[in-house]
């Protein structure tokens, strides 16, 4: 019997480490960003849309590539520390006499939820949709900001 515990089986840890090392090396040579997270092939997200999350000292920046959308077809919700993107990509009205030669752009409904690592300030969220890229800027709650602790000598 086979034990398909790839990723958890200690035998594969070394291969996984090698894979990550090679990815980093390759990424460094070709100047690719995002080598902070080099996921193994079998756990890459297949959800739409793909998102990038950056952490700034006082906020999180979530970007997603969703071209060809109208603002009224997009819905962004925040609940606690979870951000949900929802929407529908509608197909272009081509008219009745048209015929497709190629159809590569997908259309349909999508929904994606992300839980961010820190606590968010629900009142302070800004979303911009420009050139097909949605950028959501979420401020961290005051309690989650890093604080410097004074040392007193007694």
- Positions that interact with another protein (CB under 8 A): 30-34, 36-37, 44-56, 60-61, 65-70, 88-92, 94-95, 97-111, 114, 116-117, 129-133
Q: How far apart are CA 125 and CA 129, in angstroms?
A: 13
Which is nearer to another protein, 18 or 61 (by Cβ)?
A: 61
CB of 16 to another protein, least distance (A): 18
Q: How far apart are CA 40 and CA 18, in angstroms?
A: 11
Q: How far apart are CA 7 and CA 13, in angstroms?
A: 7
CB of 153 to another protein, least distance (A): 35
User: First CA to last CA across the chain, in angstroms?
Assistant: 66
CB of 142 to another protein, least distance (A): 20
Q: Which helix (H) or strand (E) holds 23?
A: helix 10-30
Which is nearer to another protein, 37 or 149 (by Cβ)?
A: 37
Which is nearer to another protein, 47 or 142 (by Cβ)?
A: 47
CB of 9 to another protein, least distance (A): 25
DSSP reduced 3-state for 151: coil
Which is nearer to another protein, 7 or 67 (by Cβ)?
A: 67
CB of 152 to another protein, least distance (A): 32
Residues 6+ apart with CB under 8 A from 24: 35, 38
Which is nearer to another protein, 9 or 22 (by Cβ)?
A: 22
Q: How many alpha carbons fall within 13 Å on the CB side of residue 35?
A: 15
């Amino acid at each position: 019997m086979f034990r398909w515990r790839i990723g958890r089986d200690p035998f594969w840890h070394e291969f996984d480490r090698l894979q990550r090392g090679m990815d980093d090396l390759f990424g460094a040579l070709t100047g690719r960003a995002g080598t902070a997270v080099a996921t193994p092939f079998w756990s890459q997200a297949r959800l739409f849309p793909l998102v990038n999350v950056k952490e700034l000292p006082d906020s999180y920046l979530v970007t997603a590539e969703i071209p060809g959308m109208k603002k009224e077809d997009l819905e962004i919700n925040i609940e606690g520390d979870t951000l949900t993107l929802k929407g529908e990509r509608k197909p272009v009205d081509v008219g009745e006499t048209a015929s497709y030669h190629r159809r590569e752009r997908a259309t349909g409904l999508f929904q994606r939820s992300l839980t961010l690592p820190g606590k968010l300030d629900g009142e302070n969220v800004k979303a911009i949709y420009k050139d097909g890229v949605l950028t959501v800027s979420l401020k961290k709650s005051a309690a989650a900001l890093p604080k410097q602790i004074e040392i007193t000598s007694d």
